[in-house]
Amino acid sequence: MITKAVIFDWDGTLADTRKAVVQSFQRVLKESGCNVSDEFIERRIGIGTKKTIIEAFRKCNVKIDVLKLENLAKKKIMIQVELADTVNLFDGAIELLEVLKGKTKVGLATMTNRKVIDVFLSKKNIESFFEVAISADEVDNPKPNPEAFLIVANRMGVNPKDCVVIEDSVFGVRAAKAAKMKCIAVSTGVYNKKELTKENPDMLVGSLAEKDKILSFILS
């Protein structure tokens, strides 16, 4: 296999966003009388804002209509933007992106909303690394559907079979496999190595700091 493009996830893969994600969801859910655990939210990081809210309301046996869903999603996004300073890139993220630049195309496929990801990429000064960045606002079907990865590959002009995805969630690994792409799973998110292994990624690493191992797989 010749890798022509690497597609990264954001939450839990490149950046530790758990605190911002959980706090922003909890604020809008509790204000609506829906109480779920932090773990309930954490285990759904990566499936998108609206889908997480819908599942939380279902868990709480609270009805939600389209207008309320839209309003809660917008409010959650605003809160998450306000929490941008709590987000940090994982060790090895910048170094890996720097090595890949110029050697292969690099894309981003995240279920974070466009307003949020644009703020985060700008604050971390890493937007220039990505040829294409797709957010939740640009897909109809969130992960584990492969749509986001396929859109990124198409916009970069690369065949899916020539892409490697780097993901931290079981939803992301499933989406990568469904897209017929190779996948490196990294256990820096909510899911542990045992859970990720069950999804049959092509490689599993503990962090992006395992740069040599990751690059060997991508560039060999």
Write out pLDDT tens, residues 170-215: 999 999 999 999 999 999 999 999 999 999 999 999 999 999 999 9
Q: For 128-151, what is the mean pLDDT?
A: 96
Residues 65 and 41 in one domain: yes
Average pLDDT of the residues in 18-30: 97
The answer to whether residues 100 and 77 belong to one domain is no
pLDDT digits (tens, 9 = 90+) for 30-68: 999 999 999 999 999 989 999 999 999 999 999 999 999
- Find the CATH number of the domain harbouring 23: 1.10.150.240
CATH of the domain at 119: 3.40.50.1000
- Please spell the DSSP secondary structure of 159-204, one letter per residue: -GGGEEEEESSHHHHHHHHHTT-EEEEETTSSS-HHHHHTT--SEE
The pairing of beta strand 15-16 with beta strand 88-89:
antiparallel
Which are the contacts of 198, defined by CB distance < 8 A and separation ≥ 6? 170
**Residue 163 confidence (pLDDT) above 70:** yes
pLDDT computed for residue 2 by the predictor? 79
Residue 220 has what pLDDT?
82
Say whether both 114 and 52 belong to one domain. Answer: no
Number of folded domains that form the chain: 2
Q: Is the per-residue pLDDT at 1 higher than 80?
A: no
Is the same domain home to 11 and 44?
Answer: no
End of a domain among 61, 83, 105?
A: 83
Which of 133-142's residues contact partners 24+ apart within 8 Å by CB, and which partners? 133/107, 133/108, 134/107, 134/108, 134/109, 134/110, 135/110, 135/111, 136/48, 136/49, 136/110, 136/111, 136/112, 137/113, 138/114, 142/46, 142/47, 142/48, 142/51, 142/111, 142/171
Q: Residue 220 and residue 211: Cα distance in Å, rounded? A: 13
Residue the block writes with tokens 């990568």: 176
Q: Does residue 142 sit in the same domain as residue 169?
A: yes
Percent of the chain with pLDDT over 70: 100
The mean of the pLDDT values for the chain is 96
Structure-block tokens of residue 141: 């079907």
Judgement on whether residues 91 and 74 belong to the same structural domain of the protein: no
Q: Are residues 24 and 12 in the same domain?
A: no
Kindly state whether residues 183 and 199 are assigned to the same domain: yes
Assess whether 76 and 10 both reside in one domain. Answer: no
- Evaluated on CA atoms 164, 197, 95, 23, the torsion sign reads positive
Q: Is 71 helix (H, G, I), strand (E, B) or coil?
A: helix
Q: Residue 46's pLDDT is what?
A: 87
Say if residue 27 is in the same domain as residue 91. no
Residues 115 and 203 placed together within one structural domain of the fold: yes
Residues 111 and 25 in one domain: no
The CA radius of gyration of the chain, in Å to the nearest whole number, is 17
What domain range includes position 68?
A: 18-83
Where is the domain boundary, 83, 98, 115? 83
Boundary-marking domain end, from 44, 59, 83: 83
